[in-house]
Amino acid sequence: MKLSSKFRKAICAVVCSAFVMSVMTYTPEFFQVSDVYADENIAHDPSRNVQEEGVGNPFNYGERNTPANASVEEIRAINHAMSVQEVKYSLFKEIDEHWDLIRVRFGQENREMVYALFLGMASRESTLGGNGDGSDLETAFSQGFGVSSAHAYGPLQTAVTAFADCDPTFMKEDDVPEMFQYSFTPENFYDCIISNHMGIRKTIHFIRSAIVDYQLEGYQIVRAALKAFNTGWANYTGENDGYYKNYPDEIIALARWYYDEGHLYDNKFTWTNSPAADIYRQGNPWDWWGDGIPSLEEISSQPPAPENLIGDIDENGIINATDAVKLISFMTCKSTLTDSQLKNADINSDSSVNIADMILLKQMLIS
């Protein structure tokens, strides 16, 4: 399917510059987060059975929230513009995609209670962007990118330790094979959807640790996993330990506020120590969570692998100008494509990647 290097360079020299300009001119959605606008109402179809189906990704989030070749500044600008409601649904999207795994690992069959748990967690960490930050909140970065193990980003403030290929002296978090572990790059670290994915994966890593390393049981497993998300250790340290009151117990109280007060889906948010959640801090706040049993049992039904999307050359789930850039780079011999990328680049299905495919891709982008 590959053209000779000499031929590719010859044909691309004439057309590439004009092609790039035309693509950029006619694709204003290139840096657009979503074509659905947030308001105070729920964004998903109210007729959906959320417990069975989830909310259905009404903001059309892909596997990334931002173009794969965008700069850090562009990525952060997109994340910064997100409303509280959009941040909420960006978390729900990842929960829904991995629901079978999450419900077993957390021992919780009520999907909306899991939504609430992660809203409580994100409120404890980032107030869901309610201070005007959207998903664009970064902490512990003063020593430089990825130097501190506490360096974190996004709604859940997912630390660099969650990622593959981070500093090898950090403790590994590679024991959640059911969820993909992204490599530690600025483009991945600063993307909201990837950050959410890795934050959920990180919590499941600590659920495993609470069960395997410390033999905890019942709600104490989830409680310890949340403590570990903050401290790095999923051990039980005593009921009077401030680590519990200030982090997992606060999270579950905030979670119940979202659930009981009816604020799962709107633009409302709460925050650490908010008086609005005082009633939910009384007694054992985990009584609300129920008596499910977190489990490490094998998940029998994994979601199917995504099908190839013709034209999606960078394989990020959408077709946009980054695919044109990647195709041009290949045509000018500046980069190579994997077999699956070549299949997506062969838009006219003639078993060759050439100028005809470039023209068809342009038509797809401007239509």
The Cα 102–Cα 86 span in angstroms is 21
Mean pLDDT confidence for 272-292: 96
The alpha helices in the chain, defined as continuous H runs, are 5-25, 50-53, 72-80, 84-97, 99-106, 111-126, 186-189, 192-212, 219-231, 242-246, 248-260, 321-331, 339-345, 355-366
Mean pLDDT confidence for 14-25: 40
> Which one-letter amino acid corresponds to residue 38?
A
How many C-beta atoms lie closer than 10 Å to residue 245's C-beta?
A: 14
Q: pLDDT class for 210, splitting at 50, 70, 90?
A: very high
What global pTM score does this model have?
Answer: 0.74
Q: 108: helix, coil or strand?
A: coil
Q: Of 12 and 76, which is predicted with more confidence?
A: 76
Percent of the chain past pLDDT 90, that is, above it, reads: 68
The Cα 280–Cα 275 span in angstroms is 10
Q: 139: helix, coil or strand?
A: strand
Q: How many helices (H) and strands (E) does the chain have?
A: 14, 3
Please check whether residue 170 is in contact with residue 149, taking contact to mean a CB–CB distance below 8 angstroms. yes
Q: What's the pLDDT score for residue 36?
A: 35
Q: Is the pLDDT of residue 134 over 80?
A: yes
Q: pLDDT class for 319, splitting at 50, 70, 90?
A: confident
Q: What's the pLDDT score for residue 341?
A: 87
* Choice among 26-35, 82-91, 113-122, 268-277 with the minimum mean pLDDT: 26-35
Tens of pLDDT, residue by residue over 24-74, are 333 333 333 333 333 458 999 999 999 999 999 999 999 999 887 789 999
Residue 312 tokens read as 């999606």
Q: What's the pLDDT score for residue 323?
A: 86
Closest CA relative to residue 262, chosen from 116, 98, 141, 153: 116
State the chain's mean pLDDT as an integer: 87
Contacts 24+ apart (CB under 8 A), 298-302: 299/100, 299/101, 299/104, 299/178, 301/100, 302/100, 302/178
Q: What's the pLDDT score for residue 138?
A: 97
Q: What's the pLDDT score for residue 42?
A: 93
Tens of pLDDT, residue by residue over 289-302, are 999 999 999 986 55
Mean pLDDT confidence for 206-213: 98
Please check whether residue 307 is in contact with residue 344, taking contact to mean a CB–CB distance below 8 angstroms. no
Q: Is the pLDDT of residue 8 over 80?
A: no
Q: Of 316 and 5, which is predicted with more confidence?
A: 316
Q: 83: helix, coil or strand?
A: coil
Mean pLDDT confidence for 142-152: 94
Q: What's the pLDDT score for residue 22?
A: 42
* Choice among 55-59, 153-157, 226-230, 321-325 with the minimum mean pLDDT: 321-325
